[in-house]
Amino acid sequence: MQRSECPISTTLDLVGDRWTLVILRDMLNGKTRYAQFLDSPERITTNVLAVRLKQMEADGLILKTPYQLKPRRYEYVLTEQGRALHGVLKEMCRWANAYYPKTWTPPEDFMT
Amino acid sequence: MQRSECPISTTLDLVGDRWTLVILRDMLNGKTRYAQFLDSPERITTNVLAVRLKQMEADGLILKTPYQLKPRRYEYVLTEQGRALHGVLKEMCRWANAYYPKTWTPPEDFMT
């Protein structure tokens, strides 16, 4: 649901929740599989992860492809559109690093 | 509640919802009063607005000061920390403008 044609509220309609950009961060860092997302320190639940991945796919942020047939398992990769949110994440890092000094410093290659 | 020391998840713990950054956008554009926030095209409800403003104040993103005593009314202004989220909003504008061509182009002075 798009609340207005404002680019900020449009972005928030898609990724304005606590989890989507955390999953996207993991994908930018090379994670592709369910178990890898579950393993992150924020401890997303399987339930929330499944709902978020489905929504991200519907929104064109990620692609889901099978990597094993029996039993069928999937991996998830960012689309160009999903990958393009990297700039938003970098700005979030700069902001949190400036105001919350205990937050981790991201790897240099994430910030360039 | 801080899920981890990751700067991205820390930022999302504070502003990872559909409304906080919409209110912050309005403040960056000069709005300071309750009725002005209610008047935005996204049509936030009074209820959600009150809860969000209280949380933003608790998080150090805004300051609340009375501008009239009888009856008492308040205006809301960004702290330096709140204002520093401008970079995140600009990146959201760039992203939405690139992938959702119908979204509004922000005024030039918002983007510089």
B30 pLDDT higher than 90? yes
Residues 6+ apart with CB under 8 A from B33: B73, B74, B75, B76
Copy the structure tokens of residue A65: 């492809």
Shortest CA gap A67–chain B (Å): 29
Residue appearing with tokens 């978020």: A52
Lookup: tokens for B88: 């995140």
Name the CATH topology of A7-79. Arc Repressor Mutant, subunit A (1.10.10)
User: Is B32 within 8 Å of B75 (Cβ atoms)?
Assistant: yes
Contact A12 B4 (CB under 8 A): no
Half-sphere exposure of B48 (CA within 13 A, CB side): 12
In this prediction the ipTM stands at 0.96
The pLDDT of residue A1: 83
Stated pTM of the model: 0.96
In the predicted model, residues of chain A with pLDDT beneath 70 are none
- Determine whether the interchain pair B88/A85 forms a contact, defined as Cβ–Cβ distance below 8 Å: no
Annotated domain spans of chain A: 7-79
Give residue B94's pLDDT: 98
